[in-house]
Amino acid sequence: MPRLSLWSPNKQNDYRFLDRSIREMFTVGGIDMYIHKYMGPELKEGDTPSEDDILKIEDLLFLENRNRNYEDDIRVIRGVYRVQDLDFDLSQFGLFVAGDNLFIQFHYNDMIDYFGRKLMNGDVIEIPNLKDYDPLSNVASIPKFYVVQEGAFASEGFSATWYPHLWRVKCVPMKGSQEFKDILDKCLEPTHPSIDGDQETDDDCCSLGDLLCQHNKNIAINDGVVWEANDYVPLSGYDNEKFFILGDGQDHTESPVRADNNIITVDSDLLTADSGIPQIISDGFALGYLTGNGMPPNGRPVTRAVKFPPGPGEGDYVLRMDYVPNRLFKYDGTMWVMIEDNVRTDMYLGHTVKTQRSGFVNNDEMIQTTDRGEIPSRQSLSKLLEPKEDN
């Protein structure tokens, strides 16, 4: 009588019997998993697809496959995983979501027969029971995608014959990144019909990337921050236009119009309704960092022109639009006196903007060095990081 042994160098009937029983368990108790098969890096023009494409690496420097190609057909295979709660891990600084990684088991032989190979890093799994059927967006439902990170034989899948029957993969939620462009560009069905009738338009299409990617949301948040910042601070520098400036060419301390004077009373006749706006020589005492706005003090009228008007009156203001930046002049009876430049500009980084930030960014000066000659103050990082000869 031969010696009894469950182990055999070849897979015998015992292994096949156990494998059929395990396959039936997955058929009865498993859930359909929709597999987006990774086909390798995106093919270049003139390349022919082959089975070895999945072993290629697009970027050998960073060891990345940023442009990935996925099979158009979606394969269905039964899988089993343990449903977990999303808990916040407070053992470290900040909030870290624990439980967002899934460990999914597949029947190994079914996977090989139907899929053609083992599930590997890069494959995308769509889990139908985790689909969001009531999203806040204008789509019928949002599917849940996970990306396979690792794969190995499951320890619980080894039978008494010492042969494995289960393939276990570790999956993480799919992010809206460049690698999954083939999947993210797919259009989702809208919840509301098109306003053009039954004909669907491009505006009605909402791609999966629009919902999963943070790029569009970040752009919208950034635009909102910029809009609110421009609303609060529309121009650079300080705004002194709202201040009423006293002055008639004399010392301001001698003016009777002060908050602490007791000369001007209700029945005083020193100031009347027809007194007019006090004449001033300049608003120099209200100057500061970028306060010139090209407007006369106290709301006095100004003429915008590219040349001085003929026959001006004393105290007339002209804003010369042909100056960069625009320059405000006042006629004192004999000549046009320069008052200020309009240096309060929009908060951008143009060459005409006279802010410190714009001057730093648009600095075109050359730095003289003893060993490397002239170095431009403004240069791109691509040129700055170029390897140079060591002299």
CA atoms within 13 A on the CB side of 338: 8
In a domain, 23, yes or no: yes
Question: SS3 string of 204-221?
Answer: HCEEHHHHHCCHHHHHHH
d(CA 42, CA 137) in angstroms, rounded, equals: 31
In order along its 391 residues, the chain shows pLDDT tens digits of 567 888 889 998 999 999 999 999 999 999 999 999 999 888 887 778 887 888 888 888 888 888 899 998 999 999 999 887 766 666 666 555 556 789 999 999 999 998 889 999 999 999 999 988 887 777 778 889 999 999 999 999 999 999 999 999 999 999 888 888 888 887 776 765 554 455 555 555 677 777 777 777 888 899 999 889 888 888 877 877 777 776 544 344 445 555 666 666 667 666 666 555 454 444 444 567 778 888 888 788 999 999 999 999 998 999 999 998 889 999 988 899 998 888 887 777 766 666 667 777 788 888 888 877 888 888 887 777 777 666 5
Which helix (H) or strand (E) covers residue 1, if one does? none
Question: Tokens in use for 254?
Answer: 């001698």
Query: Based on the domain organization, do 49 and 123 belong to the same domain?
Result: yes
Query: Based on the domain organization, do 117 and 207 belong to the same domain?
Result: yes
Query: Based on the domain organization, do 184 and 325 belong to the same domain?
Result: no
Which helix (H) or strand (E) covers residue 104, if one does? strand 102-107
How confident is the model at residue 45, as a pLDDT?
A: 78
The H helix count followed by the E strand count for the chain is 7, 16
Query: Based on the domain organization, do 60 and 188 belong to the same domain?
Result: yes
Q: Concatenated DSSP letters for 143-181?
A: EEEEEEEEEEE-GGGB-TTS-B-EEEEEEEEPPSSGGGH
Does residue 77 contact residue 33 with C-beta atoms inside 8 Å?
yes
Query: Based on the domain organization, do 328 and 298 belong to the same domain?
Result: yes
In a domain, 389, yes or no: no
**Residue 293, Cβ neighbours under 10 Å: how many?**
20
Beta strands 124-132 and 31-41: pairing type?
antiparallel
Which helix (H) or strand (E) covers residue 97, if one does? strand 96-98
Strand partners, 168: 105, 152
Q: Express the helix, strand and coil content of the chain in percent, nearest 5 each.
A: 20, 25, 55
Helices 13-29 and 108-115: crossing angle in degrees, nearest 10, is: 80
d(CA 64, CA 118) in angstroms, rounded, equals: 21
Structure-derived torsion over alpha carbons of residues 27, 28, 32, 33, reported in degrees to the nearest 10? -70
Residue type, 258: R
Q: What domain count does the chain have?
A: 2
Query: Based on the domain organization, do 64 and 188 belong to the same domain?
Result: yes
Residue span of the structural domain in which 343 resides: 239-265+275-365
Best CA proximity match to 84, nearest among 24, 143, 146: 146
Tell the residue number behind the tokens 């706005």, with chain if given: 293
Residue ranges with strand state E in 23-92: 31-41, 68-81, 87-89
Query: Based on the domain organization, do 59 and 192 belong to the same domain?
Result: yes
Tell the residue number behind the tokens 């306003």, with chain if given: 195
Which helix (H) or strand (E) covers residue 124, if one does? strand 124-132
CATH number of the structural domain spanning residue 100: 2.40.10.370
d(CA 114, CA 72) in angstroms, rounded, equals: 16
Query: Based on the domain organization, do 128 and 51 belong to the same domain?
Result: yes
How confident is the model at residue 254, as a pLDDT?
A: 47
Query: Based on the domain organization, do 182 and 244 belong to the same domain?
Result: no
Query: What phi and psi, each to the nearest 5 degrees, are found at residue 324?
Result: -125, 110
In a domain, 37, yes or no: yes
In a domain, 378, yes or no: no
